[in-house]
Amino acid sequence: ADNVVVFDIDLVQLKTALQSTLQSLGGSGGGDSARAVPLHNSSEDVRGKKRLSRGSSSSHFHSYSSFLVVMKLAKRGGLPCLCLDSSCADGSLDVHHAVPVRILRAQEWQNHLPPIVNTPDVQLEFQLDRPLRSVVERLKSISPIIYLDGSMTGELVLRIDSENVAIRTFYDKLIPRFDDARDGDDDNNTNNNNHNPQPRNDPSRKCTLKIESKKLSASLQWQSSMLRGSVSSYIICMIENEMMVVHVVLNPEDVGFFTYYIPVHYMSPDMMEFG
């Protein structure tokens, strides 16, 4: 699309710039109010109105704080940069950061698009006070492989089975998401050896995945690094013999989201026994 700009950016430099901006504002007497800094995407200095990334839109954090942060894509010293310009309403402080980026050509976009996956068999939304990471970290130290048994009844079992040990951890009262779950009549079910199709809203729907514990752990690191309150919700999507998807929605929700796609190991039908 003509109004989209896609670019590569060093996440370490971006994180440093964001932390420096918030610390500077917080140190200017704003205290905790710096956590509620209003952030705006700006098209200033960019030819036409352009979005900074695929699928993104202008983000506005409404707050009574006296601070303002403007994020824009602009040139600095002849180089394209993601600029963070922050200031106080009374003009007492101005902080400017410019993080170099590499603009991608349209032909390169396809290399950065998310993978195309089938409709999930099981989708479960977690309560924010029930993180997965701590459990996965403990299981990772015991086994390189973790099995996940999910059910649309709102249950998830994490288990490891080896010659020396068998461990199961149970999560219940999760929130099943039927809106985008696979319909039992979907043609894709033929790929999953499903001989008894189930309707989309059937709470008995189940899925078992075999996944490397290191990859699963890596997809959950945000649970230890992100500030409390910065995530609105997160959903685990299970696609039999294909993929596990971790979808995290930021807070406020109009800020955006990030998604992890974790490949899984193939399991034959006789290995699919739930629990």
Bridge partner list, 238: 122, 244
How many Cα atoms within 13 Å fall on the side-chain side of residue 211?
Answer: 29
Q: Is the pLDDT of residue 269 over 90?
A: no
Q: Is the pLDDT of residue 198 over 80?
A: no
> 141 vs 64, which has greater pLDDT?
141
Q: Which of 67-71, 78-82, 188-192 has the lowest mean pLDDT?
A: 188-192
> 137 vs 20, which has greater pLDDT?
137
> 112 vs 160, which has greater pLDDT?
160
Q: Is the pLDDT of residue 127 over 70?
A: yes
Mean pLDDT of 87-99: 80
pLDDT of residue 259: 96
Q: Is the pLDDT of residue 98 over 80?
A: yes
Q: Is the pLDDT of residue 223 over 80?
A: yes
Query: Where does the pLDDT of residue 29 fall: very low under 50, low under 70, confident under 90, or very high at 90 and above?
Result: very low
pLDDT of residue 228: 82
pLDDT of residue 229: 87
Tokens matching residue 261:
């796609």
Percent of the chain with pLDDT over 90: 49
Q: Is the pLDDT of residue 182 over 80?
A: no
Model confidence pLDDT, tens digit, residues 146-168: 999 999 999 999 999 888 899 99
Q: Is the pLDDT of residue 274 over 80?
A: no
Sign of CA dihedral 50, 56, 60, 66: negative
Mean pLDDT of 217-241: 92
Nearby residues of 152 by Cβ (< 8 Å), 6 or more positions away: 122, 123, 124, 176, 178, 181, 202, 203, 204, 205, 206
Q: Which of 86-90, 152-156, 180-184 has the lowest mean pLDDT?
A: 180-184
pLDDT of residue 133: 95
Q: Is the pLDDT of residue 65 over 90?
A: no
Bridge partner list, 69: 39, 86
> 64 vs 126, which has greater pLDDT?
126
